[in-house]
Amino acid sequence: MSVGNINDRVPSGVGGLDKIIGGGFPRGSLIVLAGNPGTGKTILSACFLYHGAVNYGERGIYVSFAESRKSFFGNMLSLGLDFEVLEREGRFRFLDMLTVREEAVQNVLEAILKEVSEVEAKRLVIDSFSALAQAFRETHEARIILHTILSRITRLLGCTTILITEIPRGENKIGLSAEEFVADGIILLGRTRLEGRLLRELELFKMRGTPVYETQAVFTLKDGFKVFPPFKSKPIEKPCRFQPQPDTEEYFSTGSPDLDKMLEGGYPRGSTVLIEIDEHITKLQYHLITAPTAYNFIVQGRGVILIPSRGVDHNLVKRRAEEGGITRNEVDRLLRICIKDYPGFKPEPCLVAFKGENLKEDYLKYIEVEQKLVESTGQPVLHITGVDTMIDMYGVREVLSALRAYATRVMEAGGLSIILLKPGYPKLAKILGALADVHLKITREHGAVLVYGIKPRTNLHVLEMDVSRGYPMPKLTQII
């Protein structure tokens, strides 16, 4: 059974979803949207109808067997979807079917068919088929209706239809099972927990005529319904200089308005910050969280001392600085990149070479570098430390002792210390987590990068790359 050319697509109206399903739903298709109560089925369906009418000029009908017109309009208006206006303009109709009884089911379905035909609707939502099916004595009667009436609506009238199906908690079966065979597409919405925090997941079981490469994705109900395809880097088309974010008497800005908001202010002055990085996280992804803080210090004339993590050399660090519009003069004056001395090392103003053999000896040299930056700027310093690099040189015990001592020094000086911890040190993560004033974690689920706070405790946030300002910045969206 064909549902049209692969290029004949109906945009879903849901941010990010069309990237996963090949540009939209096949026109004239029947899409089963299933999930437990509270997983966002109604919101996704409402976005499909609302944006269809507003952005694509396609009239829509919402048939409700589960929610009153007043309740639906009120709930959707709180999300910025004004269906009452669309209804007045003749671009939308709400059919309230809360009181349907068995003997009236056939009439109701004929009424739906008539409405679709009269208004020339191109989008239809039935909420829910589970409620409609309860009006039948026998399961096979519901299956017949599904095959005949709905098939007429979708195939003959070219009306793309979303059929909502409730899955009771604790069950995996989708409705009567017949929906799975008739449907052109099946989308399952679910909710689970990640370290005690809400994680919303979308699973694409099938979409006829569509090559599906990603079958699962993370989504949020913040400001409607948004799906997050796998993380992608973005090119910077018109490079600009980083614009500083204001600090307060209590907090240093992270350099990112989104991260400042997530942490309710930023990083406390004099604090130690632990950023725990999962094994699936790339350099670019965790640099999106750390680089803006360094940018914010440098453009305000403050010093930054960096011990890069393994796999990050001084050339990459300088390239990151360049991406933020930091000048070569600023790099030479304010940035110090600590590296292990090696034969043929060529000195640069921004490079500090350490022997990497005796921690006490190297620590004194590090303090000297810090003091010179403080003297030349008159301001506190940002320290970014890749723990794995230090452990490779000095061992866990000595590094832990040094980090504890330095946390006290940073607190007294009113500076800021960011510790980067990569996988492989679970015991160290607990110890450093107790030492830190702020503890963030960066992980990945279904290709989406997730950031969340252990201290302070926060919800999960999805990390995306924002280059709209002309330099790389983190865009963080809360999962609610």
Q: Identify the weakest region by mean pLDDT among 70-74, 100-104, 322-326, 456-460.
A: 100-104
Distance of alpha carbon 372 from alpha carbon 132, whole angstroms: 75
Would you state the pLDDT for residue 92?
Answer: 98
4 confidence band (pLDDT: 50, 70, 90): very low
Mean pLDDT of the chain: 91
All domains in the chain, ordered by first residue: 9-228 (3.40.50.300), 251-478 (3.40.50.300)
Whole-Å CA distances, 243 to 269, 323, 411, 463, 469: 20, 12, 27, 20, 9
- The region, left, alpha or beta by phi > 0 then psi within -120 to 50, assigned to residue 135 is alpha
Q: What is the pLDDT of residues 330-343, one digit of tens each?
A: 999 999 999 999 88
Judged by DSSP in three states, 97 sits in: coil
Answer yes or no: is pLDDT of 173 > 70. no
State the burial class of residue 161 (Cβ atoms within 10 Å of its Cβ: 0-12, 13-18, 19+).
buried
Which two tokens mark 328? Answer: 């070569």
Residue 402 exposure: Cα atoms within 13 Å on the Cβ side? 21
- For residue 164, pLDDT beyond 70: yes
Helix (H, G, I), strand (E, B) or coil at 250: coil
Question: Please, is 149 exposed, middle or buried when counting C-beta atoms within 10 Å of its C-beta (0-12, 13-18, 19+)?
Answer: middle
For tokens 């109604």, name the residue: 42
Contacts of 172 (CB under 8 A, 6+ apart): none
pLDDT band at 172 (very low <50, low <70, confident <90, very high): low
The answer on pLDDT for 211 being more than 90 is: no
Which residue has better confidence, 138 or 12?
12
Residue 49: name the closest of 70, 25, 66 by CA.
25
Is omega for the bond preceding 71 within 30 degrees of 0, making it cis? no
Q: In Å, how far from its chain's centre is CA 418?
A: 23
Q: Which pLDDT belongs to residue 101?
A: 56
CA-to-CA dists, residue 324 to 173, 303, 391, 467, angstroms: 51, 16, 30, 11
Give the pLDDT confidence of 407-419 residue by residue, as tens digits.
999 999 999 999 9
Ordered strands of the 160-166 beta sheet: 92-96, 60-64, 123-127, 160-166, 30-35, 185-194, 197-207, 216-220, 226-228
Region of residue 147 (phi > 0: left; psi between -120 and 50: alpha; otherwise: beta)? alpha
**Nearest to residue 233, comparing CAs of 14, 474, 422?**
474
pLDDT digits (tens, 9 = 90+) for 379-409: 999 999 999 999 999 999 999 999 999 999 9
| C-alpha to C-alpha distance for 429 and 93, rounded to whole angstroms | 55
Tell me the average pLDDT across 344-373.
Answer: 94
Q: What is the DSSP letter of 53?
A: H
